[in-house]
Amino acid sequence: MFHPLRVSEVERLTDDAVAVTFAVPPELRETFRHLPGQHIALRRTSGGEEIRRTYSICTPAGADPVLRVGIRLVDGGEFSTYALKELAVGDLVEVMEPAGRFVLTPRAGRFAAIVGGSGITPVLSIAATLLAREPDARFCLVRSDRTVASTMFLEEVADLKDRYPDRFQLVSVVSREEQQAGLPSGRLDRARLSGLLPALLPVADVDGWFLCGPLGLVVGAERALRGLGVPRARIHQEIFHVDDAAAGATPAASSAAVRAPAHSTLTATLDGRSGTWPVQDGDSLLETVLRSRADAPYACKGGVCGTCRAFLVSGEVRMDRNFALEPEETEAGYVLACQSHPATAEVELDFDR
Ligand code: FES
């Protein structure tokens, strides 16, 4: 559910990125309390058209957290252009409560993250919360950015280094600049990470890996870790911005290779209320629900954010792509409604589970 929140600060982070802070009134404090690593969806209506985007919260989680997100300008991105060029203190923005399962509940142990570009945003919240709350935790951050000037949250990361010199380890790599003092250059791909990580930390002793950024970096990092013997269950990932060319190169997420039936109906439960509707040709299950229930949850409609996650109660579906659900979630029966099409004459979804 969306709530109108007032912008209390807009801070320029780089030439193409800002941090936006929202004022949360006391009656909504509980609603907007977040776990470290979660995101919020923002909604804007412009020219009669609704735009939704999800942005990760960069601030530490806590009893009275600050709700602040990092927004980087995306080429042709309507929301990010608005955020960078127009959004000002005092504006009202519709904000959905925090969501997402790319989270780390603070506990003792050794943790690490490999991030690219704006992928630092949720990891900043994860690392800051962990190090502040758990004195027996260590965190290693490997970050890759195009240039030093385009690096988001430089100060905040430097602050973690100052505050926790023995427990926070940082490696920064820039991909498009000549090597600078202390900064290796070049892309962080699978081969490079396979050599770099064992030299940095005892890979087998890391309790959780957090990968976040563009698809290529996350896929390369996951392959490097798997090649180094890291179990799949210790790897958590969140992908930002999947373009269609990249998505086409990735295996489809289909959970059923069954041909679509000529006619199918969808029954869905949302906020305790159920309805049954015919699925129109080519429509996703999310689009089918949205025809009658405008409150159906979604943000990206691209299989990336996971906001539309629903439990498949009965029937089968074909998913076009899935960059949001972990294998355990699909095995447990969850699907992305925005990417799902019926593969049986009747399908039932539960958005409340
Ligand atoms: S709305 Fe983002 S994954 Fe479906």
pLDDT in tens, 243-298: 654 554 444 455 445 567 889 999 999 999 999 999 998 999 999 999 999 999 99
- 304 CB less than 6 Å from ligand 1? yes
- 301 CB less than 6 Å from ligand 1? yes
| pLDDT tens string 182-196 | 556 677 899 999 999
* Mean pLDDT of the residues in the chain: 91
CATH 3.40.50.80 domain extents, the chain? 109-241
Average pLDDT (59-80) is: 91
CATH superfamily of 2-96: Translation factors (2.40.30.10)
Query: 120-129, 146-155, 204-213: which range is least confident on average?
Result: 146-155
pLDDT exceeds cutoff 50 at 13: yes
* Confidence label for 69 from pLDDT (cuts 50, 70 and 90): very high
Q: What is the pLDDT of residue 260?
A: 74
Between vectors from CA 33 to CA 87 and to CA 293, what angle results, nearest 5°?
75
Instruction: Write the burial class of residue 94 (CB in 10 Å: 0-12 exposed, 13-18 middle, 19+ buried).
Output: middle
d(Cα 116, Cα 119) in Å, to the nearest integer?
5
User: From the alpha carbon of 323, which atom of ligand 1 is closest?
Assistant: 3
CATH, domain range 109-241? 3.40.50.80
| pLDDT tens string 213-254 | 999 999 999 999 999 999 999 999 999 866 654 554 444 455
pLDDT exceeds cutoff 60 at 328: yes
- 299 CB less than 6 Å from ligand 1? yes
User: From the alpha carbon of 298, which atom of ligand 1 is closest?
Assistant: 1
CATH 3.10.20.30 domain extents, the chain? 265-350
CATH 2.40.30.10 domain extents, the chain? 2-96
- Determine the distance separating the centroid of ligand 1 and the alpha carbon of 297, expressed in angstroms: 8
Architecture of domain 265-350: Roll (3.10)
Average pLDDT (25-35) is: 95
Could you tell which of 301, 321, 323, 326 is best to mutate to test the pocket of ligand 1, judged by most ligand atoms within 8 Å of the CB?
301
Q: What is the pLDDT of residue 196?
A: 94
pLDDT exceeds cutoff 50 at 81: yes
Instruction: Write the burial class of residue 175 (CB in 10 Å: 0-12 exposed, 13-18 middle, 19+ buried).
Output: middle
- Determine the distance separating the centroid of ligand 1 and the alpha carbon of 298, expressed in angstroms: 5
Q: What is the pLDDT of residue 268?
A: 98
